Amino acid sequence: MAFGAHAVPPGRRASIAARKRALADMLRGVGGTRNRVRPRASSCGIVFALAFGLTACGASPEPEAAFRVALLTPSSIRDAGWNQGAYEGLLKIKQELGAGVAHQETRTPQEFEVGFRDFAARGYQLVFGHGFEFQDAAATVAAEYPDTVFITTSGSIVRPNLAPMVFELEQATYVLGFVGASISRTGQLGCLGGIEIPSVASTFLAFEAGARSARPEVSVRVSYLGSWEDVAAAREATLALISAGSDVLIHNADAAARGFFQAAGEAGEVRVFGANRNQNELAPAVTLASATLDIPSAFVEVARSVKDGRFVARPIRLGLADGVVGIAWNPPLFAQLPEAVREAAQQLEGQISSGEFEVPRAGF
């Protein structure tokens, strides 16, 4: 079967604005007050506003803001994906809520804990740890600083002032797996991950499940780099997957994904999917679609609930129905898809969004 897609029918996302209003209502934390944390202004510390591209505290200080928010990321905010989306969310919090903001790049569990503790000790009311791997450190520090709210973007640990924000990207990767298996010539698909953590493995689990729903005999190979930033290793691993027969591939590798797109562009006769942001322009000749997250909007709504004293700790799950998870198709390539595949993908996306169909995912 030849590769192929069609422009997204007009009006397909007409309800996104309404969904985001519903998301704002959900994040207001309606319910009891037992786990509600009210922000307390602090005179401690200096607020750092970071220009785009800086990855640690140390920029020029601004006048201290009453509401301060910090972000810890596991790798570079220039990854054109997961971490860049979080940093854009931090900047949106600054713009829309008038918050003082700071960012720090942290790479090890020890650095996670130090980063959380430093910001909490300086009176930041909200600190995001961007990834599943931050939750243990957040739980440790949250017990020491009950007046600071800690949010991890994935995970399952909940404390009175700690909650996971779980982006159900699996809902998008399931659809992409279905499409990938439907158009693959070889019947072999490939997945490239950065570090093997449950949230990344879960996106691949859903991708494979979607693929098998379209083509039960399909083969799905998964490769991990052990790094979020090794572009050269990502390129080599992607070329190895292609050489082994994978002609449709997806990644979840953060900054290392640049190597993934380089290899796909070199190979030519493949189709690939981006992750976490719209990455279609990184290799437009071969990137059929991206599984996207509107991290900035989600960050702002959580920050608003903390600032207003309405935050209630509980798992915050966000998906297609909320307008936070999405699929960004590359119109020229989408137009080449067989009509039956286009229609089936759109129907499947609608069934997932409505709750009619539940996508399999890892238990966290």
For position 113, which CATH number holds?
Answer: 3.40.50.2300
138 and 193 together in one domain: no
67 and 101 together in one domain: yes
The answer to whether position 16 is within a domain reads: no
179 and 300 together in one domain: no
124 and 179 together in one domain: no
Instruction: Give Cα 160 to chain centroid, integer Å.
Output: 24
Number of Cβ within a 10 Å radius of residue 144: 11
264 and 181 together in one domain: yes
140 and 193 together in one domain: no
Query: What's the number of domains the chain is made of?
Result: 2
The answer to whether position 58 is within a domain reads: yes
Q: Is the pTM of this model over 0.95?
A: no
Q: What is the pLDDT of residue 315?
A: 96
pLDDT tens, N- to C-terminus, the chain (364 residues): 456 433 344 444 445 555 555 555 555 443 333 344 444 433 333 333 333 333 344 333 445 789 999 999 999 999 989 999 999 999 999 999 999 999 999 999 999 999 999 999 999 999 999 999 999 999 999 999 999 999 999 999 999 999 999 999 999 999 999 999 999 999 999 999 999 999 999 999 999 999 999 999 999 999 999 999 999 999 999 999 999 999 999 999 999 999 999 999 999 999 999 999 999 999 999 999 999 999 999 999 999 999 999 999 999 999 999 999 999 999 999 999 999 999 999 999 999 999 999 999 998 7
The domain of 82 spans: 25-168+295-322
Q: What is the pLDDT of residue 26?
A: 52
The answer to whether position 337 is within a domain reads: yes
201 and 264 together in one domain: yes
